[in-house]
Structure 1
Amino acid sequence: MTHKIAVVGGTGPQGRGLAYRLAQAGNAITIGSRDAARASEKAEEIAAKIGGPATVIGATNADAVATSDIVLLAVPWEGHAELVTSLRDELRGKTIISCVNPLGFDAAGPYGLTLSESAAEEAQRLVPEAVVVGSFHHVAALSLWKNEGLLSHEDILVCGDDAQAKALVMELAAAVTGKEGIDAGALRLARQLEPLTAVLININKKYKTRAGVAITGIGGHA
């Protein structure tokens, strides 16, 4: 089954990479940005990379969300609450996928911020009429964009409180890895999943690689 997906933050590296993978799998993608012209430029870049039939267009954030059934939030933590609040009317009734990582940076490198709630939980609190699922936090933007073929050596972890929405996102994960995502539990587990990204960034820097997450002991997975 294919879906109409808005990628808010689709002009950034992570959003661009996820939009590319989801469009390549046949989904209709709308890149959202504050600047509709910039969103359209990025949409054209993604469509050109796919090189075949694909539906990728650009629009303002509000228009992208309003015309889609699923909304992927791939935006920086700074300004997250303000952005979600500004889109509250358009987000009502949607399935929201949050891959937002609240990270801090200092001389010692990135680290997870100590917060009372995760970015995914914040989005759910701000738009209670939507259903929020946390996922796609740990796939490197460069891997999404530059690697040829599916990232079958990695797993996509999915957390949420709505079983149907979580199953939907686990299905979408196959666009990236070629296999269903891993059910990682309730939405509150995003508090652990989001800061884990800082660990992977540090590993990448140390070993000059693009590390991912792989779960062992589950049939059909690494």
Structure 2
Amino acid sequence: MSTISIIGAGTMATAIAGRIANAGHTVEVVNLDPAKARALADQLAAGATTGTYGAAPAGDIVILAVPYTSAAAVMADYGDALDGKVIIDITNPVAPDLSGLVTPSGSSGAQETAKGLPAGAHVVKAFNTIFGHVLAKGGRLDAFIAGDNAEAKGRVSTFLESLGLRPLDVGGLQMAQTLEALGLMMIGLAKNGAGSWDIAMHVDIG
């Protein structure tokens, strides 16, 4: 198995890290607050390590698990340290009042994040349509991905399959706009029509 790096130590980072550790990968947790990174690594107790914030991550796949409002600053802090890495953007750039997305018209959080990365890094959108507590329960969930680099998407697909998820490619990185809108729709569905946060989007392929 391989080392997967996660930048962040919040609810989604914890859920994804748990799933990665259970799949037998090594998790490297990195956070601006080293104590939070250490706490999550200790919680995983499966050979998890911590990395130095801003330094080159150990994993070739790096999961950006911070709020969208912090993503640009994190990318700036890392700079060329992310060159050659596959960056999985899980953010949902949702307005605090859930009235819509806060990204520029015609763009997405993933596309904005990609602008701050070195040329050799590739962004793949994933995980943003799955609630953390649902992911943590286990089970084979559908994981939608979008990205412009075929090799990067292939590596992310293989990684997702190793976690027991079903990767479904929706197209180029511009499709992250649609996935982020779907993330907002899932929140609206949980709060209104479904009346429960224990939901997940599933595609029936007949």
- SS of match in other structure, 1:29: strand
Q: What residue in structure 2 maps to residue 190 of structure 1?
A: 176
Deviation, 1:144, is 2.4
| Distance in structure 2 (CA, Å) of the matches to 1:110 and 1:19 | 30
Tell me, yes or no, if the aligned pair for 1:8 and 1:71 is still in contact at 8 Å: yes
Match of 1:171 among 148, 158, 180: 158
2:7 maps to amino acid: V
Tell me, yes or no, if the aligned pair for 1:3 and 1:70 is still in contact at 8 Å: no
State, as a whole percentage, how many aligned pairs show the same letter.
29
Superposition CA RMSD, Å: 1.7
Whether 2:1 is the aligned partner of 1:8: answer no
Match of 2:31 among 16, 30, 33: 33
In structure 2, runs of 5+ residues without a counterpart are none
Counterpart mapping for 1:27-176 below 5 A: 27-47=25-45, 54-63=46-55, 65-106=56-97, 109=98, 111-116=100-105, 117-127=107-117, 128-145=119-136, 147=137, 150-152=138-140, 154-176=141-163
Residue by residue over 1:164-192, the C-alpha shift from the partner in whole angstroms, topping out at 9 and shown as x without a partner, is: 1101111222244x244011111110011
Over 4 Å off, 4+ runs: none
2:2 maps to amino acid: H
Residue by residue over 1:82-112, the C-alpha shift from the partner in whole angstroms, topping out at 9 and shown as x without a partner, is: 1111111211111111111111022xx4532
Q: What residue in structure 2 maps to residue 199 of structure 1?
A: 185
Residue by residue over 1:110-152, the C-alpha shift from the partner in whole angstroms, topping out at 9 and shown as x without a partner, is: 532352421211222211220111111111111223x2xx322
Deviation, 1:69, is 1.3
* TM-score, normalised relative to structure 2: 0.90
* TM-score, normalised relative to structure 1: 0.84
2:79 maps to amino acid: R
- SS of match in other structure, 1:133: strand
Deviates more, 1:68-77 or 1:123-132: 123-132
| Distance in structure 2 (CA, Å) of the matches to 1:123 and 1:209 | 28
Q: Give the count of matched residue pairs.
A: 202
Tell me, yes or no, if the aligned pair for 2:68 and 2:93 is still in contact at 8 Å: yes
- SS of match in other structure, 1:181: strand
- SS of match in other structure, 1:102: coil
2:88 maps to amino acid: I
Tell me, yes or no, if the aligned pair for 1:97 and 1:135 is still in contact at 8 Å: yes
